[in-house]
Each structure stands twice: as C-alpha cells, then as structure tokens.
Structure 1
Amino acid sequence: MKVVAAMSGGVDSAVAAARAVDAGHEVTGIHLALSRNPKSYRSGARGCCTIEDANDARRAADVIGIPFYVWDMSDRFHEDVVEDFMDTYAAGQTPNPCLRCNEKIKFAAVLDRALALGFDAVVTGHYARLESGPEGVELHRAVDRGKDQSYVLGVLDERQLRHSLFPLGDTPKSDVRREAAARGLLVADKPDSHDICFVADGDNAGWLREKLGDRAPNHGGDIVDEASGEVLGRHDGTYGFTIGQRRGLRLGRPAPDGKPRFVLDIEPVSGTVTVGPREHLAVARIRADRPRWCGAALPDGSRLEGPGVTVQLRAHGAEHRAVVSVSSVVEEAGRGRHETMEIDLIDPASGIAPGQAAVIYDGTRVVGSATITATDRAALV
C-alpha cells in the first residue's frame, strides 16, 4: 500500500514508520505543523508541536530512507482542538484534547488529505491493535496494557479504521526503544510527552487563565461547602477546576472532620464551585451524548452487558464493569434525533467529569465512545 506515516518527532512514530517500510509499504513521512508560531505552544522535547520535534521527525525519516514533508494543519487544529478545549472548560466541563485531535485532525483532516492525494492509509505510533472481525475491522487494546492508547482512538469510525495502521500494538514500549536504538534512530531515548501539547510548561490553569480570564461568565465565583452551604473562598474562574480535584483549592481551613475536600460540582453560569468529602465523588450512573462507533452501531433501544463489558473513563484510568443502554431523543426546535447513552456502573467510579469521554469495551475490543454529559452519585453505604 501507499501510506503516509504521521511522524511527531518521537520514538513511537519513528519506529512505526520504519516498520511500515519493512512491511513492504510505500511510505511517505509527514509532520503536522499545528501552530504557525511553534513557540506559542511548547518549547523543549516534551510535546509534538515544536521546531525541535519537526527536526527530530525529519532526521528519523532520513535514517529510515523515506520522503518527508510538513503539512500545515494549524488553522484546523486551533479551531477543532484548541478552541474546543477552551469552550469545554468555559462550560464547566473537562475535555480531552488528545482524543479530539485524533477525531478531527489525525484521522479526519490528515486522512482525508491523504486519500485525496492517492494514499491508502495513515500510519501512526499509537499503541493499539486492528483485527478482522465478522463485521469488518475492529479496534482492540494493545498488548502492552501500560501503554495502551485505544481509549484516545475510541472516536474513530469503521471507515477511518480501515484506512489506519498501528504497527506497535503488539509490542512492549521497552522493545520499541531498543528497536529504535538498533535502527540508529536518535529519538530512541527521547522522553514521552505526557502534557497537553499546546499548553506551555504543562500549566493548564495558567494557560486557561490567560485565554479565558476575562470571558464572562468565567471570571470569579464562590467556593461553597456542599453540606453547610458556607462560602469557603473565592476563585478567579471555573476553568481552574475539574471534578475530583483536591489540590489548589486554597480554602485556608480544613473541613470540620479534618479530612480534605474535593471538587464535587462546577456551575459555570454562577461561577460556583462546590466542594465536599471524597465519598461524594462516587458515581453509579453516567449519561453520555452522541456516541461514535468503532464498528457497527448499537441500534436504538439496545443494551450491551456481560462479563466482558467495561467502560474506561480516563486515558490511563481503570476499567469499570458496566451495562450500556442506547436510545435516541428528539432535539429541541425540530433539529431531528440524536443518540444518547446510559452507562450503569457495576463498579462505581470516582471523580468523573462532564466533558470526558466514556469508551466502551467488550473484552479487548473497543465498541465505541460518547461524551459524558451528566452523572448520578452512588448511594452512600
């Protein structure tokens, strides 16, 4: 096949490109320019948006012996990922920009351009596996569970999966680094990126404060104790908080029982942040909106349950046994119908925030995902 290898400048994408060559594909390396001014996003070898990363990707392509180009996706990235990140926080929710980048950029804008140019697929260094199933290609967890990235790929549909290659899904990360060194790739020891690529120094709250500090209704509000209703303090904006947060509340005094308080609710219109005890974070039911299916869609009114059915609620979070129900609702103002999802957690989860993604699994297979809109607390024992 004729494929493009998305090369971030890290070790994983470099080895994935090299493996695609070994598999007999005609490979062209591409690096995504996600900012017209890379210094405005991140400096240093921690992200995927810098001049250093572009140079690392180019050097890796030279070693592998493949053509290399830079594709400017900065406008699309800013609109679909950065603006979405800001808008979601402004609404009192917690987004996952990496998941949105996969949905809107790497496997939509990039794939569409690649197919238009005559390529057959996009190769990435994600840790996930593709398998043939009875209804077509299926997305599965990686062999290395510690590096598994199927969660952030749970937004891909069956068409996108048919035009994707994940060569690292069957390999532990330690073996990938050794392979990179053996191939003479200078990125073999380059640290992994763990922060949001467009937030300088990993300071999410500071970045959001700069971007949203004066945007109503996010400028200031009360921090309120759930049990007593007492105002415990003030804050500069709801964007600085997420459900389950403990650190950085700056309340000045402990709870009456001496235990720490956690963020339980965020109300962006009034600016009220409600705090309370850890046990009030436990969630038993999740409501989510507009599912995306990684294969055949679950029909309206269907119910997915069984010993292998689980939901993952964070990129590196635990699996929770669950029962998933799908239904459709009529939108207001005659805008048609859309699907919704209810997830009953057999194992309650803590600190689940609207805006996050719920990714549904059946064993190792990714069924699909949806965006969390609301949660119901577990009953206190």
Structure 2
Amino acid sequence: MDDAGRAPGTGRPPPQPAGGAGGTRRAGRPAVSPAPGAEPAVSARTIVGVSGGVDSSVAALLLRDAGEPVAGLFMRNWADDGSGDCRAEDDRRDAVAVCGRLGLPIHFRDFSSEYWSGVFEHFLAEYAAGRTPNPDVLCNREVKFKHFLDAARELGAERIATGHYARVEHAGGRWRLLRARDRSKDQTYFLHQLGQPQLAATLFPLGGLEKAAVRRLAADAGLPTAAKKDSTGICFIGERDFREFLGRYLPAREGEIQTPDGQRVGTHPGVFYFTLGQREGLAIGGVRGRPAAPWYVVGKDVRRNVLYVDQGADSPWLMSTRARTEAAHWIGGAPPAPRFDCTAQTRYRQNDEACTVTVDEDGSLGVAFHRPQRAVTPGQSLVLYDGDECLGGAVIAGTDAPLEARLADLAA
C-alpha cells in the first residue's frame, strides 16, 4: 500500500468493507444486524462459521443435534469491487436460510479490511516477486482462526466450529491436528499454521465423515445447501478469471518465452500469471526442430520478464531433491528434533513424500526428499506429517532445481 492507501500498481484504493472506510472495530464490525439496534445476546457455547456451503451447514446440524448450545456467524471477507463476481450475498442468504431451518441464531461480521491487510497484500507482494503464494493458509491463520475466534469470544462463546475436513485430539499433554477420515477432502494442509490456543478452542465436526455422508445428512435434514456446488478458487474471492483478476492489481507486460538454452518459442502476457509445472495458457505453436509435445513452465525471471519452458511433464528442469524454507511453524510449539524423518506435501492433495528435515538455527528448514520431486514451487507451503498427524510447515523459499541456480547467478 502507498501513502494514499492505494493498492500496488492500481492507482485506486482497495475495496472497502460494507458501511464505508475508517473507524476502528474489535473482531470485525457487524455487517448486518438481525434486528434494529445491537445484536441480541445469545447463550451459545459454540459459534459455527457458516459460509453458505454444505460443509459448514452440516457442521452446525451435527452440533445442534448433539445438544450443543450453538449459533452461526457469517463472515464477509471481501468487499464488493464492482466486478459482479463476488458471491457473498448469495452465500449470506444461504447461511441465513440454513440457520433458519435449524432454528439457530446467526450473527454477521465484516472482516474485509482484515483480509486485505492480513492476506491480500501479502498475496500481491508474493506474485510481484515471482512466487506463487497460498492465500488459503494465511486466510485460516489471520481471519478464520484469529478474527472469527475473537468475535465468537466477544459474543460469549467458548469455542468455534468450522466445516473443515480435519480432526483434533488432545493426547500427550498437547493438542494434535490430524487428517480427516476422508483423505480426498482432508484440509490439514491449509490448517498447518494453527497453534495450541486455536486447536484448544476449535471443533471440526466433519473430521470423521466422508463427503458423500455429509451431503446425505444435509439432504435428510432438508438443508437448502444440500446440493450446492463446493466453492473453489482463491479463498473468499471466488471463482473468477484469475488472469483478469490479478491484472487489476499487478500491471503485467508481455515478454519472451524461452527454453532453458535460450531459444525463443513464444510470448507471454505476464510472468505473474504462470507457475511452475503449468501447461495451460502458454499458446506455443509448432517450434522448428522440436517434437509436437506439450510445453510446461520450468522457471520465471521476473527481473528480465522471461518465462522459461520445456517439453515433458517430468522435464529434468522441473525436478529437485532439496528445498529450503522460511522459518517453520510447529503446531506443538517446537520441532520433534533438530533432524528427523517424516513425510511432506508441497502442494494440496499431493501424495506424501518421504524426506529428512534439518532445522536451522534461524528456524528455517532444509528438506532432503528421498526421491526427486516435480515442480516444488517457491511461495507455496511445505507441510510436514508424522502418519496422520500434521506437525506444521513453512513457506518454500527455494530448491536445487537446475534452472533456479542459473537464474540466481543471472540476478547476482
């Protein structure tokens, strides 16, 4: 942000929360009042984050049916930017309908300013630096399990619940984050930045359920979200054209697409729009002397505005055996040991990969994979597991992929 409050590269101020800019607030300002005046006090012990989707709807259903004193809270985390793409109002209506069906009170909070400063500014800075960030991880840490939890406590609740697919248990004197029963839906990758205080105050009612069972429960209860499509895309921003969306905030310019040996094979609309291993959107036609095989992104030089590609999904230019990270976060408060073996995921839904982790004095990690890995991407999260337990993780800073060392030499 510049001194005038403009978003980087846009010349315009960021979207403002509903109700206008300015003022201070605690744990988000009420975006909608259920009745004129202050929100009524409730005796709910647990506040469920109701998003207007089927998962949070069933989380609320399960807690209500278990006799838990519960209320819902709908978070608005992205202000309308005039694109018409934000579906927050549709989601809000669905959340209201679900709570009405279940006979639960519902509260509303606007965290769009908190999302902008705690998540989105970092998202833009990472893309501007040529990295590929994971805003869902930050959104969980900075919004859902920080400001939402604070808001729930201000309402008098002891804890929160969400529709995430994960499990929490207390064993050995500490709280542990465990994978969900439905491994295809497990979301511990996105939750690895949580700590002991958050886990102690959080319920994940869906952790022991398969997704199909969740939809059946919603249908049996007559919930209006039973058949609603799962949301995808950037956390809280929705399913919109990524290139068009990012272009509003980061000015892009065309540049060359080259092979690692310097052969020009096309032009790109902006290096920000591409990530390692990507095939789509390159628009590379036939290249003389090259086979008719797909091209993949193998590197980016933001300073020179060059996108590097090679043919083959498993190009050697994409492979690495080691990764370096920024300072790690440990769910239990500390690493298991200065050096230990475990498994890792470098992207969501990746199969576990065996590795050896060395913890450096500054808290960063050196990770040696037991077999070569494809497209380990700076900016993404490297998340560590011991069986079903999520130990924590860190942001990937770099790898030993061959092109990365060459680009570092060019920048020196």
TM range (shorter): 0.7 to 0.9
What corresponds to 1:65 in structure 2?
A: 103
2:269, 2:262 → 1: CA distance? 20
| Residue 61 of structure 1: how far off its partner (Å) | 0.6
Match of 2:340 among 304, 317, 339: 304
Q: Counterpart of 2:375?
A: 351
Q: Percent identity?
A: 36
With over 3 angstroms needed to count, the CA separation of the structure-2 counterparts of 1:17 and 1:264, relative to structure 1, is same
Which AA in structure 2 matches 1:273? L
Task: Give how far 1:139 is off.
Answer: 0.3
- 1:55 deviates by 0.4
Q: Which moved more, 1:166-175 or 1:311-320?
A: 311-320
**Equivalence map 1:9-24=2 (5 Å):** 9-24=52-67
Distance in 2 between residues matched to 1:91 and 1:23, nearest whole Å:
48
Residue of structure 1 in register with 2:71 after alignment? 28
* Paired residues of 2:382 and 2:393 also in contact (CA < 8 A): yes
Residue 334 (structure 1) aligns with: none
Q: CA deviation at 1:17?
A: 1.1
The structure in which a higher percent of residues are strand is: 1
Q: Which runs of 5+ in 2 are unaligned?
A: 1-43, 403-412
Q: Cα–Cα, structure 1 residues 346 and 204, in superposed 2: closer, same or farther, change >3 Å?
A: same
Deviation per CA, 1:146-175, whole angstroms, max 9, x where unpaired? 111111111111111111110000000101
**Whole-Å Cα distance in 2 between the matches of residues 200 and 191 of structure 1?**
12
Give distance in 2, aligned partners of 1:303 and 1:255.
Answer: 49
Contact 1:158 1:293 in 2 (8 A): no
Structure 2 residue corresponding to 1:203, chosen from 233, 238, 241: 241
- Find the aligned partners of 2:288 and 2:160 in 1 and give their Cα distance: 52
Partner of 2:276: 243
Which residue in the other structure is 2:115 paired with? Answer: 77
User: Which residue number in structure 1 is paired with residue 258 of structure 2?
Assistant: 224
Residue identity matched to 1:252: G
> Matches of 2:221 and 2:348 in 1, distance apart?
30
For the residues of structure 2 that align with 1:225 and 1:158, how far apart are their CA atoms? 47
Matched, 1:169 2:207: yes
**CA 120–81 in structure 1, closer or farther in 2 if over 3 Å, else same:** same
Distance 2:273 2:79 in 1: 27
Matched, 1:8 2:44: no
Query: SS of the residue aligned with 2:297?
Result: strand
One-letter amino acid matched to 1:302: P
Partner residue, 1:327: 360
User: Does 1:294 pair with 2:327?
Assistant: no
1:126-161 per-position Cα deviation (integer Å, ceiling 9, x unaligned): 000111221311000000111111111111111111
Q: Which amino acid counterpart does residue 267 of structure 1 have in structure 2?
A: D
Q: Offset at 1:266? A: 1.3
Deviations 1:263-311 (A, max 9, x none): 1111222222222242321221111112111113117x70121xxx210
**Cross-structure match for 1:285:** 322
What is the distance in 2 between the residues matched to 1:187 and 1:283? 43
Amino acid at match of 2:151: R
Give the residue type in structure 1 aligned to 2:255.
G
**Residue deviations 1:8-32 (CA, integer Å, cap 9, x gap):** 0001001101212233322120111
Q: Distance in 1 between matches of 2:219 and 2:82?
A: 29
Is the 2:232–2:238 contact (alpha carbons within 8 Å) kept by the matching residues of 1?
A: no
Contact 1:147-1:173 within 8 A present in 2 as well: yes
Which residue of structure 2 lines up, in the alignment, with residue 264 of structure 1? 298
* Counterpart secondary structure, 2:325: strand
Q: Is the 8 A contact 2:258 2:265 kept in 1?
A: yes
Contact 1:122 1:163 in 2 (8 A): yes
Q: Which residue of 2 aligns with 1:332?
A: none
Number of the residue aligned with 2:17: none
Q: TM-score, normalised by structure 2?
A: 0.81
User: How far off its partner does 1:233 sit?
Assistant: 2.8
- Take 2:153 and 2:107, find their aligned partners in 1: how far apart are those partners? 16
What is the TM-score of this pair, normalised by structure 1? 0.88
Q: In structure 2, what is the Cα distance between the partners aligned to 1:201 and 1:147? A: 19
Structure 2: how far apart are the matches of 1:191 and 1:267? Answer: 38
Q: Unaligned 5+ residue runs, structure 1? A: 44-48, 330-338
Q: Structure 1 residues 287 and 149 mapped into 2: Cα distance closer, same or farther (>3 Å)?
A: same
Given that residues 321 and 346 in structure 1 are in contact (C-alpha distance below 8 angstroms), is that contact kept between their aligned partners in structure 2? yes
Offset of residue 370 of structure 1: 0.3
1:150 maps to 188
| Residues 90, 238 of structure 1: 8 Å contact kept | no
C-alpha contact 2:135 2:235 (8 A) present in aligned 1: no
Residue 135 of structure 1: aligned partner: 173
Q: CA RMSD in A?
A: 2.1
Aligned residues between the structures: 356
